[in-house]
């Protein structure tokens, strides 16, 4: 009975765990329901009782991934150790990029959206929960006076997007792992340069780039 614990209710969890491992080591192409079943000593029809689809299993993996991501994000964003805000932000950024870079196939699953409309809502909610941590950080920064005013949601989105892009490049071998942390830190510096209000200047959109506030030809057909 201890030898085959999957037969009395644990199969679903075992499938997810095993799938995660296979995904991490062999990528999405190395993941097949039949081999999963084989590895767990179960017939190839068994998984369907718990995941109607292969897509359903993949969705479960993505949701699991978001769970871990958000947990880590919340932990990283909650350290208010009295250090400069820039430090905290840099820490969160580096932590995120490392997480996302550790398991490229999982990250793909999380953000690639070849999901069924079914779990799509749950996934979108999970993604938004992650974003919410960053939004909260931004609001804290604004309250402190360390960040420009402006829609926290948008600011968080840009921050998060930059990290996501760096991750994407890292996973595509466009940046090498060696200089990954450095690039992440640099990105935060550049963004903070824009996000940090400066005593002698008004915020970006009124003084720094006045041109952008004037009416101008539609950039569409460029």
Partner DNA sequence: ACCTGAACACCGTTCAAGT
Q: How far is CA 91 from CA 77, 95, 168, 189, in A?
A: 8, 6, 19, 12
Q: How far apart are CA 9 and CA 100, in angstroms?
A: 31
Binding of a second copy by 198 (CB under 8 A): yes
Q: How many CB atoms lie within 10 A of CB 207?
A: 11
For DNA, the binding residues in 54-83 under the rule CB under 7 A are 54-55
Task: Report what 119 binds from a second copy, DNA, none; CB cut-off 5-8 Å by kind.
Answer: none
Among 108, 122, 129, 140, indicate the residue that binds a second copy (CB under 8 A): 108
Among 17, 116, 202, 205, indicate the residue that binds a second copy (CB under 8 A): 205
Among 18, 28, 39, 46, indicate the residue that binds DNA (CB under 7 A): 46
Candidates 4-12, 32-40, 136-144, 213-221 — which segment interacts with a second copy by CB under 8 A? 213-221
Contact between 196 and 148 under an 8 Å Cβ cutoff? The reply is yes
Contact between 61 and 118 under an 8 Å Cβ cutoff? The reply is no
Candidates 6-14, 63-71, 122-130, 200-208 — which segment interacts with DNA by CB under 7 A? 6-14
Binding of a second copy by 222 (CB under 8 A): yes
DSSP state of 188: H
Among 13, 21, 25, 45, indicate the residue that binds DNA (CB under 7 A): 45
Contact between 53 and 16 under an 8 Å Cβ cutoff? The reply is no
Binding residues for a second copy, total number by CB under 8 A: 72
């Amino acid at each position: 009975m201890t030898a085959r614990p999957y037969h009395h209710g644990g199969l679903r969890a075992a499938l997810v765990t095993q799938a995660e491992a296979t995904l991490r080591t062999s990528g999405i192409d190395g993941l097949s329901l039949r081999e999963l079943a084989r590895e767990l000593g179960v017939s190839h029809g068994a998984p369907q009782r718990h995941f109607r689809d292969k897509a359903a299993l993949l969705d479960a993996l993505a949701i699991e991934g978001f769970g871990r991501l958000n947990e880590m994000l919340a932990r990283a964003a909650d350290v208010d150790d009295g250090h400069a805000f820039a430090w905290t932000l840099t820490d969160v950024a580096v932590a995120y990029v490392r997480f996302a870079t550790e398991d490229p196939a999982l990250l793909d699953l999380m953000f690639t959206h070849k999901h069924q409309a079914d779990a799509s809502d749950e996934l979108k909610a999970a993604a938004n929960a992650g974003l919410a941590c960053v939004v909260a950080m931004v609001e804290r920064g604004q309250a402190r006076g360390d960040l420009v005013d402006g829609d926290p949601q948008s600011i968080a989105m840009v921050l998060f997007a930059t990290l996501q892009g760096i991750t994407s490049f890292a996973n595509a071998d466009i940046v090498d792992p060696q200089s990954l942390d450095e690039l992440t830190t640099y990105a935060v510096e550049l963004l903070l340069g824009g996000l940090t209000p400066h005593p002698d200047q008004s915020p970006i959109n009124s003084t720094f780039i006045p041109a952008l506030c004037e009416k101008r030809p539609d950039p569409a057909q460029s």
